[in-house]
Amino acid sequence: MTKPVAREPQRRNSRSNRARILATARRELGRNPDVTLEELARASGVVRRTLFGHFPGRSALLEALAEEASESLRRALTAVAGPEEPAERALAHFVHVIWPVGDRYRLLLALARRDLGMERVSEILAPARDAVTAILERGQRDGVFQTQLPPAVLSAGLEAMQVALLEEVNTGALEDDGTRTAVTALIAAGVPVERARAVVAEVAWDEGPADADPDD
């Protein structure tokens, strides 16, 4: 009687190849946004057929990275403080937790805007945007944040600023683990400079360094 062919080693190998291709894509796209799939296959140590078996085109690869980013963001948001924490601490906590995810996927978001469209990017970022808007709304209500802008508009401004600062880190013009950006976000939200520094120092002390994504 013929024994059934064991499929699990093949599945494990397939999952390993896929994960390696995605990790290589994150790295290589950061160096060259126009890198070809053939070049990614070589850098990943797989043949062209293997890469195209997982990702038949550039859009499929970017969509997989977008979903990976979305999942990383959702995991990070589970660590964001709840509504019982003062709004200024909650905002500092939010920036501190989100920074590693933004650092990991900052180039992907720019590529996704071009290749996947703004609607997909908005879908990925929606949970984070909702979370920070709620924090800002609470802080405005409590009198700790400025009220010159509606919460959703202020949230959009803080998001754009964080993306810009991540780009400065990418070019080497800025060194930051998220702490300086958290202080800047609090100041932009209307918290006095010294108070912003004190709050971020407290949050950073409580949490320790912002960790990289556990999948790396």
The domain ranges of the chain are 1-56, 58-207
Q: What is the DSSP annotation of 127-170?
A: HHHHHHHHHHHHHHHHTSS--SS-HHHHHHHHHHHHHHHHHHHH
CATH 3.40.50 corresponds to the domain 1-56: no
This prediction's pTM: 0.76
What is the per-residue pLDDT across 163-175, written as a single tens digit (0 to 9) for each? 889 888 878 898 9
**Helices 58-77 and 118-142 meet at what angle, rounded to 10?**
20
CATH class of segment(s) 58-207: mainly alpha
pLDDT in tens, 100-141: 888 777 776 667 677 777 787 788 888 889 999 999 999 999
Q: Do 58-207 and 1-56 have the same topology in CATH?
A: no
